[in-house]
């Protein structure tokens, strides 16, 4: 199904051609002055130089060709040469009906579907998720959903940090606390216990304790470094402990991500990339890319066009240990081998940009990826408190993600109970659904690359540009539709008729922009564009609702038309919030 703007542009292009001008000037945009017109074409302004003609003369010639337009009810020239356009209500209604019949609501499936891996989440095992993990998880999840909706094969990978010093620290602390455990007995040859010697809460206490000790006690740190080395060499007892750490930690991570309605296709880990490192490093050395510099093994990645210093990409430290850089490169090797992706997108804190410049350049220079494989970095900004500093607890510590979610749910529960709109037994469940919308919409409505203020009071408000406002609009539509059915009405009959007032036409025009918006949101990896769109649709619907008697309309055909438009509006809004990663309750 062709987008509404494409159909307009086709008619404008034909008019330019009939008037003797290049049809490429027939581009149409939404009017930046909605008080004057609905759409506009500025092609005559662009063509003036090429044709040595005043733009208003070109515009006059074009408008003369639109006198019997199928689409436009008004085409008017405004000096110095803009063409102001209004659309026929009949054409818009026809488009609405076709859109309602389309399972994808007018969004065309990609003609050349790509395989895209999104690396998002990225938590370290044995540590609780905190607010710093929020943005990667929900931005990545939304981009994954948008990509799938437009027809690409999108694979989400959590990419767990599981192979660094943190493991050595945990093993060392466990050895100090419980030296009698069989994992530390080098003479033990039996089967290791199936049950972990710690719970998730104990594990989450052990790591910070060990980390603190290692900063103050050099001998302790050296012991942890040795434990890390032995683990990476495959020491049986340490490998058994590592498996326990992974099982306990990943189970908890999955629970926390499920609470955010975030899920991953792959639960790959840094350790999965380890087998690829030796051959990768050896190959880079053989082909002359990798060389020693002060004992470390590096690859030059600077380019002549660089305006700032880009240091060499380090593969191995002087003691032979690998780094994040090495693991990320080896992970690219693994992904190319297993999936042959067309694109690998990393959704990571923007402060890691230099790291990814080095990794991407090294991967390209050494041929780890095909020339046409796209490596992309979406660096997101910081989530800050009202003081403009990174979001903290009242005590000044880093807030656990599950505590933030609980706080938001509690605030939503309080507001829902105050409204007395939902029975007590349902209020808790409803609060969770609305609370998730507050968190996700509050974050995703900001451009990903920018820092933003996480304001609980504003994000949980039922008014303004918030998740709860969007859900409230959807619930209002559901309520009207349900009442009609309860009164014996049939929602499967009727079709959308031309708009009877300006607010209805405005709602239709907003809905008609859905396909272009989704495609643009995917192209630019920009969930905030979906948020901006559904806020406009919600405002347009609420204006229409307040100005129009829907259920009390006496003309049955007109009433059915209104209800079909409501169903289409609900579908567009519900599809959009699903792309953002949350849903709407039936009541709130």
Give a yes or no: residue 144 inside a domain. yes
Distance (Å, whole) CA 5 – CA 509: 10
Select from 24, 27, 21, 29 the least CA-distant residue to 9: 27
225 in the same domain as 145:
no
119 in the same domain as 75:
no
Answer yes or no: are the C-beta atoms of 12 and 26 closer than 8 Å.
Answer: yes
Type and span of the H or E element at 314: strand 313-316
Q: What is the pLDDT of residue 524?
A: 97
369 in the same domain as 276:
yes
Answer yes or no: are the C-beta atoms of 141 and 147 closer than 8 Å.
Answer: no
Give a yes or no: residue 344 inside a domain. yes
DSSP state, residue 114: -
Give a yes or no: residue 367 inside a domain. yes
| Domain, as residue range, for 325 | 115-161+269-384
Start-to-end CA span in the chain (Å): 35
pTM above 0.85, yes or no: yes
Please, how many CA atoms are within 13 Å of residue 66, restricted to the half-sphere of its CB?
Answer: 29
User: Packing angle between helix 467-486 and helix 556-580, nearest 10 degrees?
Assistant: 140
Give a yes or no: residue 221 inside a domain. yes
176 in the same domain as 137:
no
Please, how many CA atoms are within 13 Å of residue 434, restricted to the half-sphere of its CB?
Answer: 34
Answer yes or no: are the C-beta atoms of 77 and 59 closer than 8 Å.
Answer: yes
79 in the same domain as 12:
yes
Select from 382, 342, 437, 340 the least CA-distant residue to 147: 342
In what order do the strands lie in the sheet containing 82-87?
29-30, 39-41, 82-87, 72-78
Residue appearing with tokens 């003081």: 387
Type and span of the H or E element at 543: helix 527-547
320 in the same domain as 182:
no
Q: Which two tokens stand for residue 214?
A: 């290692």
Q: Which residues lie closer than 8 Å to 38 by C-beta, 6 or more apart?
A: 30, 31, 85, 86, 87, 509
Q: What is the pLDDT of residue 421?
A: 66
CB count, 10 Å around CB of 457? 8
Q: What is the pLDDT of residue 261?
A: 97
Strand partners, 379: 348
Give a yes or no: residue 120 inside a domain. yes
364 in the same domain as 280:
yes
Answer yes or no: are the C-beta atoms of 460 and 448 closer than 8 Å.
Answer: no
Phi/psi region, residue 421 (left: phi>0; alpha: psi -120 to 50; beta: rest), is alpha
Type and span of the H or E element at 580: helix 556-580
Residue appearing with tokens 């455990």: 181
Select from 103, 135, 110, 115 the least CA-distant residue to 265: 115
Answer yes or no: are the C-beta atoms of 366 and 284 closer than 8 Å.
Answer: yes
Q: What is the pLDDT of residue 103?
A: 96
Cα–Cα separations (whole angstroms), residue 545 to 87, 93, 461, 463, 542: 22, 18, 21, 16, 5
Answer yes or no: are the C-beta atoms of 562 and 548 closer than 8 Å.
Answer: yes
279 in the same domain as 154:
yes
Answer yes or no: are the C-beta atoms of 34 and 81 closer than 8 Å.
Answer: no
DSSP state, residue 501: S
255 in the same domain as 173:
yes
Q: Is the dihedral of CA 186, 188, 194, 198 positive or negative?
A: negative
124 in the same domain as 79:
no
* pLDDT tens across the length of the chain (588 residues): 899 999 999 999 999 999 999 999 999 999 989 999 999 999 999 999 999 999 999 999 999 999 999 999 999 999 999 999 999 999 999 999 999 999 999 999 999 999 999 999 999 998 889 998 999 999 999 999 999 999 999 999 999 999 889 999 999 999 999 999 999 999 999 999 999 999 999 998 999 999 999 999 999 999 999 999 999 889 999 999 999 999 999 999 999 999 999 999 999 999 999 999 999 999 999 999 999 999 999 999 999 999 999 999 999 999 888 889 999 999 999 999 999 999 999 999 999 999 999 999 999 999 999 999 999 999 999 999 888 888 877 777 788 899 999 999 999 999 988 877 677 678 899 999 999 999 999 999 999 999 999 999 999 999 999 999 999 999 999 999 999 999 999 999 999 999 999 999 999 999 999 999 999 999 999 999 999 999 999 999 999 999 999 999 999 999 999 999 999 999 999 999 999 999 999 988
Q: Which two tokens stand for residue 15?
A: 């008019």
Q: Which two tokens stand for residue 413?
A: 């529960």
Q: What is the pLDDT of residue 136?
A: 97
Number of H helices, E strands in the chain: 21, 13
Radius of gyration (Cα) for the chain, nearest Å?
A: 29
Domain boundary among 209, 225, 259: 259
174 in the same domain as 153:
no
Give a yes or no: residue 511 inside a domain. no
Q: Which residues lie closer than 8 Å to 546 by C-beta, 6 or more apart?
A: none
376 in the same domain as 275:
yes
Q: What angle do CA 396, 400, 403 make, to 5 degrees?
A: 100
Pairing between β-strand 452-453 and β-strand 383-384 as defined by DSSP bridges: parallel
String of DSSP letters for 210-260: HHHHHHH-HHHHHHHHHHHHHHHTT-HHHHHHHHHHHHHHHHHHHHHHHHT
Distance (Å, whole) CA 399 – CA 392: 6
Domain boundary among 356, 384, 412: 384
In what order do the strands lie in the sheet containing 343-349?
153-157, 115-119, 343-349, 374-380
CB count, 10 Å around CB of 366? 20
Distance (Å, whole) CA 400 – CA 326: 30
Percent helix, percent strand, percent coil in the chain, to nearest 5: 55, 10, 35
Distance (Å, whole) CA 412 – CA 588: 10
Give a yes or no: residue 402 inside a domain. no
**In total, how many domains does the chain have?**
3
Cα–Cα separations (whole angstroms), residue 356 to 154, 322, 360, 379, 441: 21, 16, 6, 10, 28
Which CATH number is 28's domain given?
A: 3.30.1360.70
Select from 309, 275, 311, 312 the least CA-distant residue to 290: 312
Which CATH number is 366's domain given?
A: 3.40.50.620
CA torsion angle for 447, 452, 456, 458 (degrees, to 10)? -70
Answer yes or no: are the C-beta atoms of 120 and 154 closer than 8 Å.
Answer: no
Select from 399, 466, 475, 352 the least CA-distant residue to 128: 399
Domain boundary among 384, 409, 433: 384
| 3-state SS class at 459 | helix
Give a yes or no: residue 415 inside a domain. no
């Amino acid at each position: 199904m062709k987008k509404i703007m494409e159909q307009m542009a086709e008619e404008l292009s034909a008019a330019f051609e009939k008037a003797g001008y290049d049809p490429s000037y027939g581009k149409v945009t939404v009017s930046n002055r909605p008080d004057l017109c609905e759409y506009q074409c500025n092609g005559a302004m662009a063509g003036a130089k090429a044709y040595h003609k005043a733009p208003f003369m070109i515009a006059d010639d074009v408008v003369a060709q639109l006198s019997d337009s199928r689409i436009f009810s008004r085409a008017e020239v405004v000096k110095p040469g803009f063409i102001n356009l209004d659309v026929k209500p009949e054409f818009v209604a026809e488009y609405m009906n076709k859109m309602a019949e389309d399972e994808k609501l007018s969004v065309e499936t990609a003609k050349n579907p790509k395989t895209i891996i999104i690396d998002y989440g990225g938590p370290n095992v044995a540590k609780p998720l905190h607010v710093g993990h929020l943005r990667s998880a929900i931005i990545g999840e939304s981009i994954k959903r948008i990509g799938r909706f437009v027809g690409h094969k999108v694979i989400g990978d959590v990419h767990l940090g599981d192979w660094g010093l943190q493991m050595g620290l945990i093993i060392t602390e466990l050895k100090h606390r419980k030296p009698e455990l069989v994992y530390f007995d080098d003479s033990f040859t039996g089967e290791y216990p199936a049950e972990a010697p710690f719970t998730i809460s104990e594990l989450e206490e052990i790591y910070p304790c060990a980390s603190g000790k290692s900063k103050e006690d050099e001998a302790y740190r050296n012991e942890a470094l040795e434990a890390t080395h032995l683990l990476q060499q495959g020491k049986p007892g340490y490998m058994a402990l590592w498996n326990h750490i992974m099982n306990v930690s990943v189970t908890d991570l999955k629970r926390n991500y499920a609470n955010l309605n975030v899920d991953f296709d792959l639960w790959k880990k840094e350790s999965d990339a380890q087998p690829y490192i030796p051959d990768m490093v050896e190959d880079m050395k053989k082909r002359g890319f990798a060389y020693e510099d002060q004992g470390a093994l590096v690859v030059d990645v600077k380019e002549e066009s660089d305006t700032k210093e880009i240091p060499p990409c380090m593969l191995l430290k002087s003691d032979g240990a690998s780094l994040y850089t090495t693991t990320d490169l080896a992970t690219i090797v693994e992904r190319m081998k297993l999936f042959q992706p067309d694109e690998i997108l990393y959704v990571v804190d923007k402060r890691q940009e230099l790291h990814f410049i080095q990794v991407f350049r090294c991967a390209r220079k050494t041929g780890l990826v095909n020339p046409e494989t796209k490596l992309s970095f979406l660096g997101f900004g910081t989530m800050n408190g009202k003081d403009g500093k990174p979001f903290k607890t009242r005590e000044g510590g880093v807030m656990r993600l599950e505590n933030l979610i609980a706080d938001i749910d509690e605030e939503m529960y309080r507001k829902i109970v105050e409204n007395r709109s939902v029975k007590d037994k349902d209020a808790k469940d409803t609060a969770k659904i609305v609370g998730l919308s507050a968190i996700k919409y509050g974050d995703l409505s900001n451009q990903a690359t920018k820092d933003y203020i996480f304001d609980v009071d504003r994000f949980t408000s039922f008014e303004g540009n918030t998740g709860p406002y969007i859900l409230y609009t959807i619930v209002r539509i559901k309520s009207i539709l349900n009442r009609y059915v309860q009164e014996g009405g049939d929602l499967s009959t009727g079709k959308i008729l031309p708009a009877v007032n300006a607010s209805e036409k405005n709602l239709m025009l907003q809905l008609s922009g859905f396909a272009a918006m989704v495609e643009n949101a995917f192209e630019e990896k920009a969930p905030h564009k979906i948020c901006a769109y559904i806020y406009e649709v919600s405002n347009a619907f609420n204006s229409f609702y307040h100005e129009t008697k829907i259920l009390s309309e006496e003309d049955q055909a007109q009433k059915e038309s209104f209800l079909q438009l409501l169903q289409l509006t609900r579908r567009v809004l519900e599809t959009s919030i699903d792309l953002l990663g949350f849903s709407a309750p039936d009541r709130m």
